[in-house]
Structure 1
Amino acid sequence: MKKRCGRCFPFSSRISNISAIHFDKIMSSIKKILIVDDDDALRGSLVEQLQLHESFSCLAVASAAAGLEHARSSHVDLVLLDVGLPDMDGREACRLMRKAGVKVPIIMLTGADTDSDTILGLDAGANDYVTKPFRFGVLLARIRAHLRSHENSDDAVFKIGPYSFRPGAKMLLDTEEKKIRLTEKDLAVVPTRSIPECLSALVAFDPDSEMDQNRAQMSEAIEGVRSGAVTRAVRDSKYKGSKIREGDFIGLFKGSIVTAGTELPEVTLKLVERMAEKGADVVTLIRGEAVAEDAGSDIESRLREIYGGDLEVLIGNQPLYHYLVGIE
């Protein structure tokens, strides 16, 4: 077979030859944000806004006790922690998280904006202190900045499938916390913003090529991919003047809602149509765990009538997103 580095259409044939690729491992690159806030509207809004970006998943709770439990027992990459919680001051909750060994960035959210409040929050172990009301874009920039900083610190822990990697200690641990020996090798990081981009980069990888050549052709492959997703709305909102109810399906493209409705097939078809307006050599559909077999087959059959052999369907079983869509 002729290699087509930089293209995303040979997914099924090329991936079948790369035994190390598993969708659960790819999904582990998504950053999990723990949101601890008793304001239902704000909590729901943060979840919805963050999940518009495929690089985040959210775990949202309304009390300090629930936040402490999840921070200690679950792998999270960052915590958004309200100060005025009903069962405990958020600064005390922050101290308890640090005492329990939680080393991920903690951003405190509060309506108090005096210098003394900021100092108390930072002294409690928080990495940042954001006053309400805030612009989501500013909060998002701070989240990304703290995640980047943490990834380069000795405290960083990356989940890679069943393994935990601590780059500061050059240590890889299995599920039983047993060390796995690492060898010294040069490596290059090729950043991606979505699962379709990640898959396209993996397909472009050539084990017989030099590192710099692989990095160039993987980056080239990413540039030609348009990414979208179908998920459910987490709260009532509006789209082009029409109401979106909590639980409705929404189609996301370029970080915005481009279609919404109560029926998964119609929302998925409209999303793909919108994404393909500038042409589509290949449409890649990655089915999530929430899509039943019969419903998925119906949607995929209808898309195959339109795109024929240019449609690739993969079973990703990813959470949150009913479908991830990649178009080249």
Structure 2
Amino acid sequence: MNDGKRILIIDDTEVISEALSGHLARTENFSCDRTKDALAGVKTALAHYFDMIIVNVVGSSLDQFDICKQLRAGDVVAPIILLVADGDDATTIKALDFGATDCVSRPFKLGVLMARIRAHIRQFEHSEEAQLSIGPFYFNGSSKTLRLQNGGGGRPIHLTDKEAQILKFLYLHSDRLTNRDELLGEVWGYNAGVTTHTLETHVYRLRQKMETDPSHAKILVTEPGGYRLNLMS
């Protein structure tokens, strides 16, 4: 699910960030935040949620490895790609040891970098650490909570294990209709004692937690044959 992904690019040259952010916005519909200052980039990454962080620093007192180390020490879980001048084994090992997800040598082919970005985001999206954008909420699978986006504040909305599993599966398949039997099998397994009524009860409770008007759902929508999650509601 690429829509709504937010990328931070820390680039003290500005050349790469300008070209890359424009390409990401046009081809992937990503939202890109850019910063030239390494320290400011670290502060931004620690203060806000990003789906990926790309670092290209060549002349700062804070090098790329230190940036990566500080981000991981600050509990940043998003994938981090370092763009480096020398991608030999020693540099790659150092980057990974400091917490980078990937290390890409400059100069790079844009198509290859884009493929790596998509692959890492896809992998991260399936992890429990990912924070998924669903309508007006951020969903965190690890804590099983929903929080309002855009500074909405308020206390987190806590979900049960089954509610979180339903939401995660529908998110990962939001490009199509999910029928009830498929959702039952995914969340409850092949349990003969579980019926579609059980599923409908959990969907009802989910809507009570996340819909403004649960009787006219706009996020978790019922369609003929099953359910669909509207990510952009």
TM range (shorter): 0.5 to 0.7
The CA RMSD over aligned residues, in Å, is 2.9
Q: Please, which of 174, 181, 184 is the counterpart of residue 162 of structure 2?
A: 184
Show CA shifts across 1:160-197 (max 9, x none).
Answer: 355331123433245344343347355542339xxxxx
Aligned equivalent of 1:79:
53
Q: Please, which of 128, 142, 165 is the counterpart of residue 139 of structure 2?
A: 165
Give the distance between the partners of 2:74 and 2:42, measured in 1 at CA. 9
Displacement of 1:113 after TM fit? 1.9
Displacement of 1:117 after TM fit? 0.7
Report matched runs for 1:119-268 at 5 Å. Answer: 119-174=93-148, 175-182=153-160, 184=162, 186=166, 188=170, 189-191=173-175, 207=222, 209-211=224-226
CA gap of 1:154–1:67, structure 2 versus 1, over 3 A, is same
SS in 1 for 2:117: helix
Aligned equivalent of 2:85:
111
SS in 2 for 1:80: strand
* Paired letter, 2:15: A
Larger radius of gyration: 1
Aligned equivalent of 1:57:
31
CA contact (8 A) 1:30 1:54 kept: no
CA contact (8 A) 2:85 2:106 kept: yes
TM-score, normalisation: structure 2:
0.67
Show CA shifts across 1:252-296 (max 9, x none).
Answer: xxxxxxxxxxxxxxxxxxxxxxxxxxxxxxxxxxxxxxxxxxxxx
Give the distance between the partners of 2:28 and 2:111, measured in 1 at CA. 16
* Paired letter, 1:70: T
Structure having the larger proportion of residues in helix: 2
Total equivalences in the alignment: 178
* Paired letter, 1:180: H
CA gap of 1:84–1:166, structure 2 versus 1, over 3 A, is same
Aligned equivalent of 2:201:
none
CA contact (8 A) 1:78 1:105 kept: yes
* Deviation larger for 119-128 or 156-165: 156-165
Show CA shifts across 1:214-255 (max 9, x none).
Answer: 66xx9xxxxxxxxxxxxxxxxxxxxxxxxxxxxxxxxxxxxx
Displacement of 1:48 after TM fit? 1.5
Displacement of 1:44 after TM fit? 1.1
CA gap of 1:177–1:123, structure 2 versus 1, over 3 A, is farther
Percent sequence identity over aligned pairs: 32
Give the distance between the partners of 1:155 and 1:170, measured in 2 at CA. 10
Give the distance between the partners of 2:146 and 2:12, measured in 1 at CA. 37
Displacement of 1:54 after TM fit? 4.6
CA gap of 1:210–1:66, structure 2 versus 1, over 3 A, is same
Aligned equivalent of 1:254:
none
Give the distance between the partners of 2:57 and 2:138, measured in 1 at CA. 31
Relative contact order: is structure 1 or structure 2 higher (C-alpha 8 Å, sep ≥ 6)?
Answer: 1
Displacement of 1:154 after TM fit? 1.9
Give the distance between the partners of 1:210 and 1:65, measured in 2 at CA. 51
Show CA shifts across 1:124-148 (max 9, x none).
Answer: 1000000001111111111111111
Give the distance between the partners of 2:223 and 2:88, measured in 1 at CA. 59
